[in-house]
Amino acid sequence: MKRSAKERVKKKGENQAPAISRADNPADKPGPNLSVNLEEALFCDFVGGAVGHRLRFGGGRGQALPKAAGLTKGRTPQIVDATAGFGRDAFLLASLGAEVTLIERSPEVHAMLEEGMKRAREADERIVEIISRMTLLFGDAKALLKDMSPEVVVVDPMHPARKTTALVKKEMRVLRSYVGADPDAEELMKAALSVATKRVVLKWPVKADPLENIRKPSHQIIGKSTRYDVFMTG
């Protein structure tokens, strides 16, 4: 028996996760795109995918982020990732032995990270050991940093609009729909610079203009599309 068009639409949408409206977003930030299927949108995988591949085949401490964060042979600083996002940078640093505190202020993104870390604790022994070095906090990093004295703070705010026509990856567009544009990136950098005892690392697009009212970095590590501005503090 043929179903009507209305019945077919209803059937197709029965298993889709409900969208969260902007008005209901408790972070008082731009809410998720209403057309996004949340089951697909926010998913944190510390075991397989790109993270698993990077763990198996990455360049260890020779990679740009570990170098920028000051991980050298015999030196493993204590790090705060002030803009946790999908948690991949924190996982990389923790996989190299660093104790990493992740801070995330979006309730939805924090819940995604919490669930991803929970799944990872049920994985193999190596993953479990890495996750044990990661501590997840919920809140605004500008406020939480005041009570911390980390050696290194990594700041990776939502990046400004690109100067090229290249399309941003889908997952980053989804993340932006939850966390917004981070208009307080400058204030976060100032908060990080005031507490980090060794250095602050700003992860930024290679061709983007510097943040206003922030001093010049001590040095930079520049990749193909991303640069790491390193600000030595002690």
Whether residue 195 is predicted with pLDDT greater than 70 in this model: the reply is yes
Average pLDDT over residues 201-217: 95
DSSP code at position 114: H
Instruction: Please state, rounded to an integer, the average pLDDT across all residues of the chain.
Output: 82
What's the pLDDT score for residue 25? 40
Average pLDDT over residues 37-47: 69
DSSP 155-217: E-PPPPPPSS-PPPPHHHHHHHHHHTT-TTHHHHHHHHHHH-SSEEEEEEETTSPPPTT-PPP
- The pTM score is 0.77
43-232, CATH topology level: Rossmann fold (3.40.50)
Whether residue 157 is predicted with pLDDT greater than 70 in this model: the reply is yes
What's the pLDDT score for residue 49? 77
What's the pLDDT score for residue 56? 76
Nearby residues of 46 by Cβ (< 8 Å), 6 or more positions away = 52, 87, 91, 116, 117, 119, 120, 123, 127, 130, 131
User: Hey, which of 113-117, 158-162, 166-170 has the most confident mean pLDDT?
Assistant: 113-117
Domains of the chain by residue range: 43-232
Q: What percent of the chain has pLDDT over 90?
A: 62
